C-alpha cells in the first residue's frame, strides 16, 4: 500500500520503521519540518527510506491509507488540512486521543470528499508493542479497513460501526491510567518529603499485591517527564469526553494540570536536557521526586524572601 503518516513523532517513527521493514512505501509530514526542531525527524526518515512531504496535501495526495498520529488538539485541524487532497476511497485512520465529538467532526470533514474515515483508539503505550499495539477501530468503514491493517501487522479489532465508541473506550480508560500517573507522582513525591515513602509503598503492596509499585512508579515518572505535554493534551480531550457525558471532569482536568506542570518543568531542564542520554532515564523514581522537591523548596524560599522584602 501507499501509506502516508501525518505526525512523525514517537508513534509515527515507530510505525514508519515497522512498515518500511515490510517494504511498504511511506511518506510523512510533520509540523516540525522546516523549523529548528526538524533535525531528528529528517535523520530518521533518511535512515528508514521515508519520504518527507512539505505539506499535508503533498503527503496524502496519492495515499491509499493515511494514518494521523498527532497531538490530541490537532486531530480535527489535521483532518481538515488533509481532506481536500485525499484520494476518493482512501482510508483515513485517526489514531489521535480525541473525544468522541472531535472524532465525529473529523469524520464529517474526511467523508465529505469521498474518502473513508476510521477512528482508531490505541489502548496502551505504543513502544513495547510497536505496530502490534492493541487497537480498537470504529465507524462504518472500520470493517473494510480491518483486514488490510491486519495484513500490515496491526493488532486491530472493530469495536463498533458507530463513530465515537472506540474513542470513548480509550478516553474513559485514560481517566484511570493517566490519572494514576498523576496520583503516583503527587503521592510518592509528598511521601518522599515526609520520609514515609517505604511505608506508603508497603501499604499499597498489601492492598494491591499484583503491582510492583517501585517499578511502576519509576515508569510513570519517566513517561510523564518525557511525554507530559502530549499527555496533558490528551487529558484535555478526556475532560471534554466527560463533559460530553454531562459530568464535570474534576479528575481529568486535575490530571491534565499535573501532566502539563511536569512538562513545563521538563522544558526548564530540571530532569536533564531533552535529547541527552540522561533525560528521563532514571530507573528510580526517588531521583526524580528529589528533583521535584528541591525545585519546590527553592520556589518556597523565593516566595518567603519576596514576602519578607515587602514587609
List of residues 6+ apart from 136 with CB closer than 8 A: 120, 121, 123, 156, 157, 158, 159, 166, 169, 170
Task: Please say whether the structural domain 168-310 has been given the CATH code 1.10.1040.10.
Answer: yes
Q: Using an 8 Å Cβ cutoff, are 295 and 271 in contact?
A: no
Predicted model pTM: 0.87
- Tell me the pLDDT band of 308, cut-offs 50, 70 and 90: low
pLDDT at 309 over 80: no
Report the SS3 class of residue 163.
coil
Report the pLDDT value the prediction gives residue 158, as an integer from 0 to 100.
98
Cell digits of residue 127? 513502544
Q: Where are the domains of the chain?
A: 2-161, 168-310
To the nearest 10°, report the CA torsion of 178, 181, 185, 186. Answer: 50
Listed range (19-28, 158-167, 206-215, 277-286) with the worst mean pLDDT: 277-286
Report the pLDDT value the prediction gives residue 274, as an integer from 0 to 100.
81
Q: What angle do CA 293, 296, 300 make, to 5 degrees?
A: 135
Task: Please say whether the structural domain 2-161 has been given the CATH code 3.40.50.720.
Answer: yes
Query: Percent of the chain having pLDDT more than 90?
Result: 90
- Tell me the pLDDT band of 280, cut-offs 50, 70 and 90: confident
Q: Would strands 134-138 and 116-122 be described as parallel, antiparallel, or unpaired?
A: antiparallel
Alpha-carbon gap, residue 236 to 97, rounded angstroms: 10
- Give the residue-averaged pLDDT of 253-273: 95
Q: Using an 8 Å Cβ cutoff, are 177 and 121 in contact?
A: no
Q: What is the pLDDT of residues 166-210, one digit of tens each?
A: 999 999 999 999 999 999 999 999 999 999 999 999 999 999 999
Which of 229, 228, 230, 225 has its CA nearest to residue 282? 225
C-alpha distance across the termini of the chain, in Å: 70
Report the pLDDT value the prediction gives residue 306, as an integer from 0 to 100.
66
What are the strands of the beta sheet with 51-52, ordered from one edge? 51-52, 25-29, 2-6, 65-68, 91-94, 116-122, 134-138, 155-160
Report the pLDDT value the prediction gives residue 74, as an integer from 0 to 100.
94
Do 2-161 and 168-310 agree at the fold level? no
Which of 212, 259, 307, 283 has its CA nearest to residue 72? 259
pLDDT at 276 over 90: no
Report the pLDDT value the prediction gives residue 131, as an integer from 0 to 100.
98
Q: What is the pLDDT of residues 132-168, one digit of tens each?
A: 999 999 999 999 999 999 999 999 999 999 999 999 9
pLDDT at 283 over 70: yes
Which of 37, 35, 44, 49 has its CA nearest to residue 13? 44
Which of 62, 59, 72, 55 has its CA nearest to residue 11? 72
pLDDT at 275 over 80: no
pLDDT at 303 over 70: no
Q: What is the pLDDT of residues 45-80, one digit of tens each?
A: 999 999 999 999 999 999 999 999 999 899 999 999
List of residues 6+ apart from 167 with CB closer than 8 A: 98, 99, 100, 102, 103, 119, 121, 138, 241
What CA–CA distances, in Å, run from 10 to 41, 179, 212? 10, 22, 26
Query: Percent of the chain having pLDDT more than 70?
Result: 97
Amino acid at each position: 500500500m501507499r501509506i502516508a503518516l501525518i505526525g512523525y513523532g514517537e508513534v509515527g517513527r515507530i510505525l514508519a520503521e515497522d512498515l518500511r521493514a515490510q517494504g511498504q512505501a511511506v511518506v510523512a509530514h510533520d509540523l516540525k519540518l522546516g523549523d529548528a526542531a526538524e533535525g531528528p525527524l529528517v535523520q530518521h526518515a533518511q535512515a528508514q527510506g521515508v519520504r518527507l512531504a512539505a505539506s499535508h496535501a503533498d503527503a496524502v495526495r496519492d495515499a491509499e491509507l493515511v494514518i494521523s498520529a498527532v497531538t490530541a488538539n490537532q486531530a480535527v485541524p489535521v483532518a481538515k488540512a488533509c481532506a481536500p487532497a485525499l484520494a476518493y476511497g482512501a482510508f483515513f485512520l485517526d489514531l489521535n486521543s480525541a473525544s468522541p465529538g472531535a472524532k465525529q467532526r473529523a469524520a464529517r470533514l474526511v467523508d465529505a470528499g469521498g474518502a473513508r474515515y476510521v477512528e482508531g483508539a490505541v489502548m496502551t503505550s505504543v513502544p513495547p508493542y510497536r505496530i502490534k499495539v492493541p487497537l480498537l477501530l470504529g465507524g462504518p468503514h472500520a470493517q473494510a479497513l480491518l483486514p488490510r491493517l491486519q495484513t500490515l501487522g496491526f493488532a486491530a479489532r472493530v469495536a463498533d460501526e458507530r463513530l465515537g465508541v472506540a474513542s470513548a473506550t480509550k478516553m474513559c480508560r485514560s481517566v484511570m491510567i493517566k490519572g494514576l500517573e498523576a496520583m503516583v507522582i503527587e503521592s510518592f513525591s509528598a511521601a518522599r518529603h515526609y520520609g514515609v515513602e517505604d511505608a506508603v509503598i508497603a501499604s499499597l503492596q498489601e492492598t494491591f499485591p499484583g503491582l510492583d509499585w517501585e517499578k511502576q512508579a519509576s515508569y510513570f515518572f519517566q513517561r510523564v517527564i518525557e511525554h507530559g505535554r502530549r499527555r496533558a493534551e490528551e487529558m484535555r480531550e478526556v475532560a471534554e469526553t466527560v463533559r460530553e457525558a454531562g459530568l464535570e471532569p474534576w479528575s481529568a482536568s486535575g490530571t491534565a494540570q499535573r501532566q502539563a506542570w511536569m512538562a513545563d518543568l521538563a522544558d526548564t531542564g530540571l530532569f536533564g536536557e531533552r535529547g541527552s542520554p540522561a533525560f528521563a532515564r532514571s530507573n528510580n523514581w526517588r531521583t526524580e521526586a528529589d528533583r521535584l522537591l528541591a525545585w519546590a523548596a527553592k520556589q518556597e524560599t523565593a516566595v518567603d524572601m519576596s514576602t519578607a522584602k515587602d514587609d
